[in-house]
């Protein structure tokens, strides 16, 4: 059975990171690209929000006894397969995991346009993920 306190803590972390992204993201991608500090702050907080979401996914997979996923994207697909999140959310979170990997590992540099899109549009996917997790956990008979 999932630990409600652990999931609630991670959901709060995602919400906090989203707020930090929104307050630090400039009005357009060009400004973000020119402001390295803002790009770093937005990128880091997006990465940490996605990591917290992945931590939730891993926790649910483990506590429910589902087969382990081989990647972050696969963990979101596993949640989809078990009716925890919608297919659209799983696909969006899989893409977010890709951006997380770029930021975390520095693969070929961070694309400011991709970060801007994630910061302005992708955060809605993170919010959808959190809402769907909360809804699933609140179901009396899972």
CATH code (residue 108)? 1.20.120.580
Domain that holds residue 14: 4-138
User: How far apart (Å, rounded) are the C-alpha atoms in residues 49 and 21?
Assistant: 9
**Best CA proximity match to 123, nearest among 58, 60, 72, 48:** 48
User: How far apart (Å, rounded) are the C-alpha atoms in residues 78 and 90?
Assistant: 9
Per-residue pLDDT of the chain (142 residues; tens, 9 = 90+): 899 999 999 999 999 999 999 999 999 999 999 999 999 999 999 999 999 999 999 999 999 999 999 999 999 999 999 999 999 999 999 989 888 877 777 755 788 998 999 999 999 999 999 999 999 999 987 6
Q: What is the number of domains present in the chain? A: 1
Find the Cα–Cα–Cα–Cα dihedral 91, 93, 94, 95, rounded to 10°: 90
Longest dimension (CA), the chain: 51
């Amino acid at each position: 059975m999932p630990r409600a306190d652990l999931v609630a803590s991670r959901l709060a972390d995602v919400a906090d990171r989203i707020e930090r992204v929104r307050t630090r993201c400039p009005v357009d991608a060009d400004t973000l690209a020119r402001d390295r500090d803002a790009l770093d702050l937005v990128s880091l907080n997006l990465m940490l929000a996605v990591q917290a979401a992945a931590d939730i996914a891993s926790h649910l997979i483990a506590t429910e006894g589902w087969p382990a996923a081989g990647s972050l994207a696969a963990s979101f697909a596993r949640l989809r397969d078990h009716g925890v999140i919608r297919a659209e959310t799983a696909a969006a979170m899989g893409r977010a995991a890709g951006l997380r990997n770029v930021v975390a590992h520095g693969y070929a540099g961070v694309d400011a346009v991709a970060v801007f899109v994630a910061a302005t549009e992708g955060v809605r996917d993170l919010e959808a993920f959190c809402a769907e997790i909360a809804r699933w956990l609140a179901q009396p008979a899972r």
